[in-house]
Amino acid sequence: MAAAANERTALEKKMAALGVRDEDIVESFIRSSGPGGQNVNKSSTCVYLKHLPTGLEVKCQRQRSQLLNRNLARHILLSKIENSIRQNVLRKQSLKAKVMRRNRKKPKGLKLRILEQKRRHSVKKSGRRKLSLQSDDI
């Protein structure tokens, strides 16, 4: 009994750390399928959890006991939420780094090379212009 209480407090601490509330989780129980015999056929041991703010869903039927599946499903859901948060943080960091790379000052030598390349390109394009016939040429 003490182990279950310790696990519940650990689960509550993890939920608090991630900012997940019990009200945000929709929980339902479904009849399991597969091995398990009469226990599986008569009782709803499969647990389905959905976290409403993120839309993440978990379905767990690993154990024959509903209580064990319920705890396991909560752990899986919390790890998915944690991964989702971590991915968002990494995405924001990479976007910030990309903007910093784009906005950093270019070295003087690079600026000069770019300007020289533009000048050569304009000379090349000016050579392609159509020659217009003026009245003085006729």
Question: Please, which pLDDT band fits residue 136 given cuts at 50, 70 and 90?
Answer: low
Q: Locate the DSSP E strands across the chain.
A: 25-30, 46-51, 56-60
C-alpha distances (whole Å) from 106 to each of 33, 41, 99, 113, 119 are: 63, 69, 14, 11, 18
The mean of the pLDDT values for the chain is 88
CATH code for the part of the protein at 2-101: 3.30.160.20
Predicted local confidence at residue 45, as pLDDT? 85
Q: Summarize the confidence of residues 22-31 as an average pLDDT.
A: 89
Confidence (pTM)? 0.68
pLDDT digits (tens, 9 = 90+) for 35-70: 767 766 777 889 999 999 999 999 998 888 888 999
Predicted local confidence at residue 66, as pLDDT? 87
DSSP state of 22: G
Domains of the chain, residue spans: 2-101
Question: Please, which pLDDT band fits residue 1 given cuts at 50, 70 and 90?
Answer: low
Tokens 């906005």 — which residue? 103
Provide the terminal-to-terminal Cα distance of the chain, rounded to the nearest Å.
108
DSSP state of 61: -
Question: Please, which pLDDT band fits residue 75 given cuts at 50, 70 and 90?
Answer: very high
Helix, strand, or coil (residue 125): helix
Longest distance between any two alpha carbons in the chain, whole Å = 108
pLDDT digits (tens, 9 = 90+) for 82-135: 999 999 999 999 999 999 999 999 899 999 999 999 999 999 999 888 877 666
